[in-house]
Chain A
């Protein structure tokens, strides 16, 4: 890959910004929060982060906020990821390797269905809270 200058980065941003403005009509925003404590990193949270970014790029999903957080207290199922999608319960997923990260984007974010066997939070409790 040729070395990108800041100017090239700015141009890239501007070309994407145009695209983004066109699509951003509903103002919905999706949050993906990845546990990046020592436990998360040891279990491969960086690879999961990479996979999330790749899938978001590939599927051209807009309005996604990706954040990192410390340990969520679920070290035994790291990497853990909290996914917040408008209209769906906030969900904490565990054991999120690259493959599961792709599945979460495909099924949860795009398909509106929870991903089985990786949920470590009771979505019903979230719904009750709200």
Chain B
């Protein structure tokens, strides 16, 4: 199972892509007390019944891994949230898309480490497919709030093929500079 919050996010983004989403919004908002994540997609969505099954570790539709009897993506996330007194809300409408919101408290001993946000984002944009990923990041520290946003389509427009190693190296440099700048603030 996953260690860092970013690993969970990457899993959820992959779910959205596999649900046929053409547009995914990801926001990561960090305050001194909480890390809040919101993922919205316009993928195939789920009915209420499917929604219940999605959080059941002993359910899988058997399509992705034919021989597997378990589907652990969301259940592991929910477990990590529950054990660290976080919050989670999953809403979906069949044919319209899914919204997943969750947050972790920084002051709980069982809260997973945040992980490498720019690395996670690099991996997310290099997934195959023509989906749009809009990323919004906010960081509140020392009494003020800073933010940046990145769109996958902008990176593709500037860099071309995102599986080309040169493009990836530049994309990584770009994403890291956004995150570093945010963390350093005006200092």
Contacts and interface: CB of A to CB of B under 8 A. Distances in A.
Do A and B interact?
A: yes
Given A1-B176, A42-B3, A66 B163 contact: yes
B166 A46 contact: no
A10 B158 contact: yes
Contacts of A13: 158-160, 167, 170
Interface residues of B, number: 35
| Residue from B7, B154, B158 having most chain A Cβ neighbours under 10 A | B158
A32 B116 CA distance: 22
Contacts of A9: 155, 158-159, 170, 174
Contacts of A53: 165, 168-169, 172
B165 A64 contact: yes
Contacts of B176: 1
A121 interface: no
B2 A65 contact: no
A3 B166 contact: no
A62 interface: yes
Given A2-B181, A38-B2, A56-B169, 10 more contacts: A6-B154, A13-B160, A16-B170, A46-B119, A52-B165, A53-B165, A61-B165, A65-B163, A68-B123, A68-B126
